[in-house]
Structure formats: structure tokens, C-alpha cells
């Protein structure tokens, strides 16, 4: 089966980005939203993005016009009946998504593939609201979806292998690099990115450094394009907090620290002042805390076979912009070095040593 006509429910930032990516690679797109204002905003964003690409000589005016013509903005779900696949990209709220899937199930044919762009809700729970859940998968795009190359393709408990393969094929067809994931909280990348940001806030709370200093150390340590506080401000601390809260079921290690909850619930951004470069001892303490939390989450992810080491590192490098991705870093540090870094969290939370620790040095990356 070839996906030529794609329906996208939700014309916000993610839905519009997915629409641009699909149309840029030859798909006909029906971009739907119940808000006329949202649809107008989506149209403006599409035109602005394409104009910028023309100005940068990444495409011609004729190519930009063809892409824009392949995107139709609509307010009714009924148009999806003629599509080959539907991707949901609405607000990250379970009840709202569940209602949409129930409505979609009545409007489209029973074998049409449906994907959710959720970043933190489980595919299996959402699938309970889809008629014929075998056709349901996760396709988590990363922002900005029109540019970011990574898509987590999530296989739910009931997802048919042929539909999972179709999701992988469609992702590649629109120029993305898919990462195949098990349906587990946080999937592959948020599984360790959330603890990474949580440990950054813990370092702040324990007085190890300022937000600027912790960002600086993170950038040096992971080769990150931006530090955790800067990234949290970009995606919004409240959204980051919601993602962390969805990992709570994995145990106390994943629970948000009180300072993360306070700032996230306030709706404010982190204050990032001028950088006073930390000394060597300060840098080591911050780096150890960040690496310890990140590495433990990755090792648990590998133990549970959520994703491969190769995919985790590729996603870290291309979605999160870590030029030193975690599995490669652990290979370089060696088993004893990594064990030292995760030891305090293992003791604090009474966790077993991850079996994947023994594979360090041989982790595919």
C-alpha cells in the first residue's frame, strides 16, 4: 500500500509541520482543525516557511507553489474518508484524543491506518478508542516537524506488523529517519531526555551551579547545541513537566523534582543569567549528575528493548542535537566509569543494576 493522500487532524505547530514535510515530498495533504483561526495561522505559517526556503535558494518559486497547492486546509473530519492514512496531531490530552479517534472510527473505512503523534501517552491506551486497533500506531514527530528528521514509530500491543512497516515506509518516503520503538512511557528519546532535564533542575536545587552554568556544562559534556534550561524554555517548562509526569509509572527515579513542579506549574520560564564559567570541581559534579541520570535511563530503555542503541544515539544526535550521544559516550567511558556515574541513583532509588551495563563497549552506535 502506498500513502499518497494523508489526512492530518490538528493544524497547530506539529500538524502544520507534518503537513509541510508530507507535501514537500509529493503527498496530497488534508490539514483539518475545528478552529478557523488555527487554520488561518497554519496557512500563514506554510506560506512563510516556503517563502523562506525560496529566499535561501533551497527551492524555486514553482516548487514552493506546488507544495502549497498540495495542502488543503479543512474544518470537517468527513474529508478524511478519501485519504490513505490519518495522523492525529491535536492537543496532548487523553480524553480529547480518545474522542477524536472514536469519531474518526465512524467516518473512515475500517482498514485505514491511523497514527497518533503523541509524545507521552501510550499507544495501547489510545488504541482502545479506535475500531480495529490493529491499524493503529504511534508516529511521534519532533519539532520543528517540517525540518527535524526524526520520527519515533511506535508499535502498540495490538498494532499489526504490516501497519508498523507502513509507518516506517511512510516516514522514509517523506524524508524522515524513523526510530522503531516499543510502546513504553517516553518511547525512546523522552525516556532519557526527561531525566536529563530533571537532573539539571536537581543540580540547580542542590546549589551545584546556576542555570547558565548547568547549560554550559551540558553543552560541553554532551556536545549539545543548547543546554537543558534553554531547551526547556523553548518547548516550555510546563510541557516538559507534563512529559516527565507521564514517566511517573516507571518509578520514583523518574518523578519530577519539586523545583521542576513549582516552575512548570507556574507557567513561567527559567531565568538564565550571565555565565560565570564554573571551575573544574563544579563542572565535574554537574556533569556527573547529568550523565548519571541520562545513562541510567538509557540502560533501562535498552534492558526493556524499547529501542536499539543505534537508534537511541541517532535520535539523540539528530532530534536533540547531542553531538556526543549517550551510548557512544558510555562506550568511551567503559563499564566501570558508567557504573560509578549511575551508582548513586541505584542506591537512592533501590534499583537493580541494568543488565545492559555489561554490554558497554559493544553498544552499537
Q: What HEC string does the chain produce?
A: CCCCEEEEECCCHHHHHHHHHHHHCCCEEEEECCCHHHHHHHHHHHHHHHHHHHHCCCCCHHHHHHHHHCEEEECCHHHHHHCCEEEECCCCCHHHHHHHHHHHHHHCCCCCCEEECCCCCCHHHHHCCCCCHHHEEEEEECCCCCCCCEEEEEECCCCCHHHHHHHHHHHHHCCCEEEEEECCCCCCCHHHHHHHHHHHHHHHHCCCCCHHHHHHHHHHHHCECCCHHHHHHHHCHHHHHHHHHCCHHHCHHHCCCHHHHHHHHHCCCCCCCCCCCCCHHHHHHHHHHHHHHHHHHHHHHHHCCCCCHHHHHHHHHHCCCECCCHHHHHHHHHHHHHHHHHHHHHHHCCCCCCHHHHHCCCCCC
Distance CA 260, CA 270 (A): 10
**Catalytic residue among 140, 160, 216, 318, which?**
140
Distance CA 74, CA 177 (A): 29
Residue with cell 560565570: 276
Distance CA 107, CA 79 (A): 9
Beta strand pairing status for 85-88 and 136-141? Answer: unpaired
Q: Around 32, how many Cα atoms within 13 Å sit in the side-chain half-sphere?
A: 18
Q: Is 160 a catalytic residue?
A: no
Distance CA 314, CA 321 (A): 10
Distance CA 207, CA 278 (A): 12
Phi, psi of 139 (to 5 degrees): -135, 90
Active-site amino acid positions:
140
Amino acid at each position: 500500500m502506498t500513502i499518497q493522500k494523508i489526512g492530518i487532524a490538528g493544524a497547530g505547530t506539529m500538524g502544520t509541520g507534518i503537513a509541510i514535510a508530507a507535501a514537500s515530498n509529493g503527498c496530497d495533504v488534508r490539514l483539518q482543525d475545528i478552529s478557523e483561526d488555527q487554520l488561518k495561522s497554519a496557512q500563514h505559517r506554510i506560506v512563510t516557511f516556503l517563502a523562506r526556503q525560496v529566499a535561501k535558494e533551497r527551492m524555486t518559486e514553482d516548487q514552493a507553489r506546488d507544495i502549497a497547492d498540495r495542502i488543503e486546509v479543512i474544518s470537517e473530519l468527513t474529508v478524511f474518508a478519501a485519504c490513505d492514512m490519518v495522523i492525529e496531531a491535536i492537543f496532548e490530552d487523553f480524553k480529547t484524543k480518545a474522542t477524536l479517534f472514536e469519531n474518526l472510527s465512524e467516518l473512515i473505512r475500517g482498514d485505514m491506518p491511523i497514527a497518533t503523534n503523541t509524545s507521552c501517552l501510550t499507544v495501547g491506551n489510545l488504541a482502545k478508542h479506535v475500531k480495529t486497533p490493529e491499524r493503529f500506531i504511534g508516529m511521534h514527530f519532533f519539532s520543528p516537524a517540517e525540518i527535524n528528521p526524526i520520527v519515533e514509530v511506535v508499535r502498540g500491543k495490538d498494532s499489526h506488523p504490516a501497519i508498523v512497516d507502513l509507518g516506517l515506509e511512510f516516514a522514509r518516503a517523506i524524508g524522515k529517519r524513523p526510530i522503531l520503538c516499543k510502546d513504553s512511557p517516553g518511547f525512546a528519546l523522552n525516556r532519557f531526555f526527561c531525566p536529563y532535564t530533571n537532573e539539571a533542575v536537581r543540580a540547580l536545587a542542590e546549589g551545584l551551579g546556576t542555570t547558565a552554568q548547568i547549560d554550559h556544562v551540558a553543552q560541553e559534556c554532551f556536545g549539545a547545541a543548547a543546554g537543558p534550561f534553554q531547551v526547556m524554555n523553548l518547548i516550555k517548562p510546563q510541557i516538559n513537566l507534563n512529559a516527565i509526569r507521564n514517566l511517573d509509572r516507571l518509578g520514583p527515579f523518574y518523578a519530577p523534582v519539586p523545583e521542576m513542579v513549582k516552575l512548570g506549574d507556574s507557567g513561567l520560564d527559567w531565568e538564565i543569567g550571565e555565565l560565570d564559567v564554573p571551575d573544574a570541581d563544579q563542572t565535574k559534579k554537574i556533569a556527573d549528575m547529568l550523565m548519571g541520570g541520562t545513562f541510567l535511563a538509557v540502560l533501562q530503555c535498552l534492558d526493556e528493548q524499547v529501542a536499539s542503541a543505534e537508534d537511541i544515539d541517532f535520535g539523540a544526535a539528530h532530534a536533540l542535537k547531542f553531538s556526543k550521544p549517550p551510548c557512544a559516550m558510555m562506550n568511551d567511558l567503559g563499564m566501570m566509569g558508567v557504573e560509578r556515574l549511575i551508582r548513586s541513583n541505584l542506591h537512592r532509588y533501590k534499583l537493580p543494576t541494568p543488565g545492559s551495563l555489561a554490554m558497554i563497549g559493544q553498544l552499537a552506535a
